[in-house]
Chains A and B, each alone.
Chain A
Amino acid sequence: MSIGILSIIIFLPMLTAFVAMLLPLNSRATRNVAFMVSLTIFALALYVYTHFELTGAIQFQENYAWIKSYGISYSLGIDGFSLIILMLIATLIPSAYLLLWKNERSKSYWISMLFIQTGISGTLFSLDLFLFYFFWEAMLLPVFMIIGLFGSGNRVFSTLKITIYTIMGSLFMFVSILYLGVAHYYEFGMWSFALSDLVNITTIAREQKVLLFFGFMLAFAIKIPLFPFHSWLLQTYSNSPTGGVFLLSSIMAKLGVYALVRFMIPLFPELFVEFSVYFVALGIFGLVYFGIAAISQLNIKKMFAYSSASHLGLITAGIFALNVQGMMGSAFLIVAHAIATGGLFLLVGVMERHLGIRSLSGLGGIAGRAPWFTLFFAIMLFCTVGIPGTNGFVAELLIVLGIFHYNPYLGVLSALTVLVAASYMFWVFQKAVLVKSDNNVSNMQDLSLHEILGLLPLAVLIIAMGVYPDFFLYKIEPSLQHYLIDILHVGVK
């Protein structure tokens, strides 16, 4: 049997991790190897991107039987929506490695990062729900390790908290998956957990379907996190090491949104349409709620945690807006947010390494000491706020448009609330970076070459996608139209 490119992308990091674990490599060597692997994966992802055809169909499929007696198969494939997240991950992870270059001096840190990459890609490519669940859970263990081993503060408690929280969500999803599998068995007389088979089920009554819908939704909402399933967020983000926060905010949360589109829309199209109004409202509520929560935080990491959750609310609202603008905007914001928030968390990590303080009141006047840092901080911030010329602007504009089409009142509300982010973000920028204060920030050093190299592609992407968005998103459009027209039957307004 031949091994496809997607399998290589999934398992290369894992194999490297195993080899690194067994060989007596030191942390530097492990890091270098991990970085090389991430670059290789970037190259492979580029190959996938260039060979991806402009259709809404699933491509690069691989299909092997796994547990035959239950029709469980190892089946992989990507469509436009997963493609864009694949590109995102492939770009972000090498950048993150460059920024974490000097931070982490432990071998197990890099090994965990490699394992996480395997889990993420596996989740992204799975077409079989059992396989998807398998990776979805397996992804959690290295995160558990990274937070617990390298976190700060009451890290053990926060590790257990996020683990129990996310597993609670995923277990309900697990029951739903099993229910679908059994329903398929009853209707067609054979077992299957493949998404393409499960969508054909017609026998499930509405009440059950609603329960299943929420079984899935719970898992994704906790991962995103959507209000009110966010209570793990603050503690985990503030106690995690930089790499952990980066992964949680810019990648794993996106996988929650991704799964929402990839699995919820085909499985429950009519419920998706029916309940969309609640989730748009919930998304916008989260946007406001987390925005206000962010204003009241003095700890920069916690503030960015809330701001990240706030934007994820907007992404969710865009997904549920049921039109191509909203969905396109969400896809765009997934990328923009991942880059900007990821960049911000990595920069905060740099700041943390030099200064050790994270409270806003202890900062000030960084700009004078670290011009490069200031420059990148500003770019990421502008993107988060949605200044024209950055991709954040394009994304937010599209989403607001989409929501406006969906419901004018909600549209107006969402347009107004985008301002919330601007207020606190500029305040942070002014207070921590620009204005000189009495606080001693003399330990702050400017970014090293590694870090500049790591952030440069992100900054370039932010601007380039802001100036010429079409170039980056034309591959995703057929997939989105497939979701909207073929599955949801809502059409392009």
Chain B
Amino acid sequence: MQWIQLGYLLPLIIVGSGAVFLMLLSPLERLSMERFSLLTFLILLSALSSNFYHFGELFTSFPMKEIFSKMLIVDSYSVYFDALILSGALVTSLIGTHYFQTKRHFKKEFFSLFLFSVFGMMLLVHANELLTAFIALEIASLALYVMIGFQKIHDKRVEASYQYLVLGSISGAFFLLGTAFIYAGLGTTILGDIGKTLDMLIGKDVSLIVIGGMFVLVTFLFKISAFPFQNWTIDVYDGSPLPVTAFMAATFKVAIFGFVLRLMLIDLDPIRDMWDTLFIVVIIATLLYGTFLAVIQESLKRMLAASSIVHTGYLLIAFVSIGYAGESASSSIIYYLIAYFLSSMGAFGLISYIAADEHIRVTYEDFRGFAHVHPYMAAMLSIFMLSLAGIPSTIGFVGKFYIFTGAIEAGYTSLAVCGIIATFISIYYYFKLIALMYFYPACDAEWDDVPSLRGITPITIGIIAIAVIWGGIGNTFIAYFPGVDFLIDTARLSYMSLFIK
């Protein structure tokens, strides 16, 4: 009867075997890049649809407990995150279509790596054990390292790839070390058991676990590019091909938060308070430094990379609030991840669509007068900027509302104020682009090589833009159509499933 439980893991299996399948197919000459792109899309789509079988249900299960012990968990929470990661991958593959078609240096293996990376991320949110999580993290990261450096004649790519590889591996080593400490202290690496054992140790010396947890958190902070581990972000994001940047910025962050939230909420709960002060310092520094970096950037891509550090800061605000306002804070993280995912995916995707190559149309100045030549693209880009800036009627606003409410509820009003200040400085660097696009006359001829609004990529981006608006105003006015309430409710549901014993 064990095998029936495999149904729970179906999305994971589809993506994993799809990756292997594509790898096997890649030497075939007859299959073109377009076909591969389509295949990737279909694999992701089938995984996503199989995932929706359990969506909206409140449950927890450990499939094949005898074989895997409790290494893997499937609950509403992981299903929710799977849906996020898979949609992220789906959107990346759709947005990337145009990019991969025009940039001929990509080989077919790229798609296999891409699926492996998705597989790693999904495994990460299903991981119920620290070592599994480490392996999942490495699968996801290793694939990413190669994806970044795929264009091997381009120095910037190779440098970014190496920088990420070396730094990422070091941070991975910290994770392992932390796991070792936790195992030494508690004799288990299974989530859930860690929490139970820790509960029994209350009042005794838990410094080993504190140190171990600290090391694990270092990896976490590194991967989400929080201060003081943010230095790689701009270079790596800037050096990566744009669809890969979008994938890293939005989807990878989702997966990392997916795992760490689980770890923090269930297991390190008894000793989480110890890090609160540290986190407050980290948040303020992240917000400050990220804002500073974003303000000084000339290139749009680098600005978006730097602003992703600021968004990490917002997410961390909700992260510290968890201790006092668990439910609203953690579901606000989940909601904000969706909001950030949509807006940044749209922004990165559209820029990658517009940018002809790596040398033109990457800076603010290149977008002077853009709106008068391509009004629809400019409108979409503005929507994404407004959402990132958190202006009402976009999903980014609701996301910020949610995070700051959680922070105030937890008593961190001063952190909310810090976030607000960062937000209002961010108006400058987001609105600068809108101002440049709209308020200057267009210079002719410069825009001839911008592709027109045809094909899959613009349609996807258009749908994302609509989703961004809908996420900001949507509600139950249209019956049976998911609005803000739906997203908040599902986020809460997935949070609740964490506590089913």
A interface residues, Cβ below 8 angstroms from B: 65-70, 130, 133-135, 137-138, 141, 144-145, 148-149, 155-156, 159-160, 163-164, 167-168, 171-172, 174-175, 178-179, 181-182, 185-186
Of B16-24, B310-318, B483-491, the stretch lying at the interface with chain A is: B483-491
A-B contact list, 19 entries, CB within 8 Å:
A67-B484, A68-B485, A69-B485, A69-B489, A133-B392, A137-B391, A148-B439, A149-B438, A159-B439, A160-B431, A160-B432, A164-B424, A167-B427, A171-B421, A174-B401, A175-B416, A178-B401, A178-B416, A182-B405
Give the distance in Å from the alpha carbon of A164 to the alpha carbon of B417 in the complex: 16
Give the distance in Å from the alpha carbon of A164 to the alpha carbon of B428 in the complex: 7
Interface assignment of B366: CB less than 8 Å from any CB of chain A: no
Given contacts A160-B428, A168-B424, A171-B420, contact A179 B485 (CB under 8 A): no
Q: Would you call B393 and A174 a contact (CB within 8 A)?
A: no
Give the distance in Å from the alpha carbon of A380 to the alpha carbon of B185 in the complex: 82
List chain A residues, Cβ under 8 A from B386: 141
20 additional contacts, CB 8 Å, given A67-B488, A156-B436, A171-B424?
A: A65-B475, A65-B476, A66-B475, A67-B484, A68-B485, A69-B488, A70-B488, A130-B401, A134-B392, A148-B435, A149-B438, A149-B439, A156-B435, A156-B439, A156-B440, A163-B431, A164-B427, A164-B428, A174-B420, A175-B416
Give the distance in Å from the alpha carbon of A163 to the alpha carbon of B435 in the complex: 11
List chain A residues, Cβ under 8 A from B485: 67-69
Q: Would you call B409 and A182 a contact (CB within 8 A)?
A: yes
Q: Would you call B423 and A148 a contact (CB within 8 A)?
A: no
- Considering only residues 396-411 of chain B, those with a C-beta below 8 Å from chain A are 397-398, 401, 404-405, 408-409
Q: What's the least CB distance linking B161 to chain A, in Å?
A: 37
Nearest-CB residue, chain A, relative to B409: A182
Q: Would you call B416 and A141 a contact (CB within 8 A)?
A: no
Residue of A69, A135, A175, A185 near B404 (CB, 8 A) is A175
List chain B residues, Cβ under 8 A from A134: 392-393, 397
**Interface residues of chain A: helix, strand, loop or mixed (majority):** helix
Q: What's the least CB distance linking A366 to chain B, in Å?
A: 32
Q: Would you call B488 and A159 a contact (CB within 8 A)?
A: no
List chain B residues, Cβ under 8 A from A133: 392
List chain B residues, Cβ under 8 A from A182: 405, 408-409
List chain B residues, Cβ under 8 A from A181: 405
Q: What's the least CB distance linking B377 to chain A, in Å?
A: 15
Q: Would you call A175 and B413 a contact (CB within 8 A)?
A: yes
**Interface residues of chain B: helix, strand, loop or mixed (majority):** helix
Give the distance in Å from the alpha carbon of A215 to the alpha carbon of B497 in the complex: 38
B interface residues, Cβ below 8 angstroms from A: 386, 391-393, 397-398, 401, 404-405, 408-409, 413, 416-417, 420-421, 423-424, 427-428, 431-432, 434-436, 438-440, 475-476, 484-485, 488-489, 492
Q: Would you call B409 and A185 a contact (CB within 8 A)?
A: yes
Q: Would you call A145 and B438 a contact (CB within 8 A)?
A: yes
Nearest-CB residue, chain B, relative to A67: B484
Give the distance in Å from the alpha carbon of A168 to the alpha carbon of B391 in the complex: 12
Give the distance in Å from the alpha carbon of A18 to the alpha carbon of B382 in the complex: 17
Q: Would you call B475 and A178 a contact (CB within 8 A)?
A: no
List chain B residues, Cβ under 8 A from A144: 431, 434
Q: Would you call B405 and A70 a contact (CB within 8 A)?
A: yes
List chain A residues, Cβ under 8 A from B409: 182, 185-186
Given contacts A175-B420, A182-B405, contact A138 B393 (CB under 8 A): yes
Nearest-CB residue, chain A, relative to B382: A141
List chain B residues, Cβ under 8 A from A175: 404, 408, 413, 416-417, 420
Nearest-CB residue, chain B, relative to A74: B475
In the A-B complex, the 8 residue pairs with the closest CB atoms: A148-B439, A134-B392, A137-B392, A171-B420, A182-B408, A69-B488, A182-B409, A168-B424
Q: Would you call B401 and A163 a contact (CB within 8 A)?
A: no
List chain A residues, Cβ under 8 A from B434: 144
Residue of A67, A141, A160, A186 near B475 (CB, 8 A) is A67
List chain B residues, Cβ under 8 A from A145: 438
Q: Would you call A148 and B438 a contact (CB within 8 A)?
A: yes
Given contacts A69-B488, A138-B393, A163-B427, contact A155 B475 (CB under 8 A): no
Q: Would you call B401 and A138 a contact (CB within 8 A)?
A: no
Of the candidates B408, B417, B421, the one having the most CB atoms from chain A within 10 angstroms of its own CB is: B408
List chain A residues, Cβ under 8 A from B391: 137-138, 141
Q: What's the least CB distance linking B196 to chain A, in Å?
A: 31
Nearest-CB residue, chain A, relative to B485: A68
Nearest-CB residue, chain B, relative to A141: B391
Q: Would you call B435 and A174 a contact (CB within 8 A)?
A: no
List chain A residues, Cβ under 8 A from B432: 160
Give the distance in Å from the alpha carbon of A174 to the alpha carbon of B404 in the complex: 9
Given contacts A149-B439, A155-B439, A160-B435, contact A171 B423 (CB under 8 A): yes
List chain B residues, Cβ under 8 A from A130: 401
List chain A residues, Cβ under 8 A from B475: 65-68
Give the distance in Å from the alpha carbon of A130 to the alpha carbon of B400 in the complex: 13
Give the distance in Å from the alpha carbon of A70 to the alpha carbon of B475 in the complex: 12
List chain A residues, Cβ under 8 A from B398: 67
List chain A residues, Cβ under 8 A from B428: 160, 164
Give the distance in Å from the alpha carbon of A148 to the alpha carbon of B439 in the complex: 5
List chain B residues, Cβ under 8 A from A67: 398, 475, 484-485, 488
Give the distance in Å from the alpha carbon of A163 to the alpha carbon of B485 in the complex: 30
Give the distance in Å from the alpha carbon of A171 to the alpha carbon of B425 in the complex: 11
Q: What's the least CB distance linking B439 to chain A, in Å?
A: 4
Give the distance in Å from the alpha carbon of A56 to the alpha carbon of B6 in the complex: 66
Q: What's the least CB distance linking A312 to chain B, in Å?
A: 24
Nearest-CB residue, chain A, relative to B488: A69
List chain A residues, Cβ under 8 A from B424: 164, 167-168, 171
Of the candidates A156, A159, A167, the one having the most CB atoms from chain B within 10 angstroms of its own CB is: A167
Q: What's the least CB distance linking B383 to chain A, in Å?
A: 11
Give the distance in Å from the alpha carbon of A276 to the alpha carbon of B203 in the complex: 54
Give the distance in Å from the alpha carbon of A63 to the alpha carbon of B475 in the complex: 14
List chain B residues, Cβ under 8 A from A149: 438-439
Q: What's the least CB distance linking B53 to chain A, in Å?
A: 25
Of the candidates B391, B440, B492, the one having the most CB atoms from chain A within 10 angstroms of its own CB is: B391
List chain A residues, Cβ under 8 A from B438: 145, 148-149
Q: What's the least CB distance linking A342 to chain B, in Å?
A: 25
Give the distance in Å from the alpha carbon of A168 to the alpha carbon of B432 in the complex: 16
Q: What's the least CB distance linking B396 to chain A, in Å?
A: 12
Give the distance in Å from the alpha carbon of A179 to the alpha carbon of B416 in the complex: 10
Given contacts A163-B431, A164-B424, A178-B404, contact A138 B392 (CB under 8 A): yes
Give the distance in Å from the alpha carbon of A185 to the alpha carbon of B324 in the complex: 14
Nearest-CB residue, chain B, relative to A180: B408
Give the distance in Å from the alpha carbon of A43 to the alpha carbon of B397 in the complex: 35
Give the distance in Å from the alpha carbon of A160 to the alpha carbon of B392 in the complex: 18
Q: What's the least CB distance linking B115 to chain A, in Å?
A: 35
Give the distance in Å from the alpha carbon of A134 to the alpha carbon of B400 in the complex: 13
Give the distance in Å from the alpha carbon of A135 to the alpha carbon of B472 in the complex: 12
Give the distance in Å from the alpha carbon of A148 to the alpha carbon of B398 in the complex: 27
Nearest-CB residue, chain A, relative to B439: A148
Give the distance in Å from the alpha carbon of A186 to the alpha carbon of B391 in the complex: 27
List chain B residues, Cβ under 8 A from A69: 485, 488-489, 492
Q: What's the least CB distance linking A406 to chain B, in Å?
A: 34
Q: Would you call B392 and A178 a contact (CB within 8 A)?
A: no
Give the distance in Å from the alpha carbon of A145 to the alpha carbon of B488 in the complex: 32
Nearest-CB residue, chain B, relative to A68: B485
Nearest-CB residue, chain B, relative to A186: B409
Q: What's the least CB distance linking A444 to chain B, in Å?
A: 29
Nearest-CB residue, chain A, relative to B398: A67
Give the distance in Å from the alpha carbon of A483 to the alpha carbon of B323 in the complex: 41
Give the distance in Å from the alpha carbon of A448 to the alpha carbon of B397 in the complex: 45
List chain B residues, Cβ under 8 A from A159: 435, 439
Q: What's the least CB distance linking B477 to chain A, in Å?
A: 8
Give the distance in Å from the alpha carbon of A175 to the alpha carbon of B418 in the complex: 11
Q: Would you call B408 and A179 a contact (CB within 8 A)?
A: yes
Q: What's the least CB distance linking B364 to chain A, in Å?
A: 12
Nearest-CB residue, chain A, relative to B400: A174
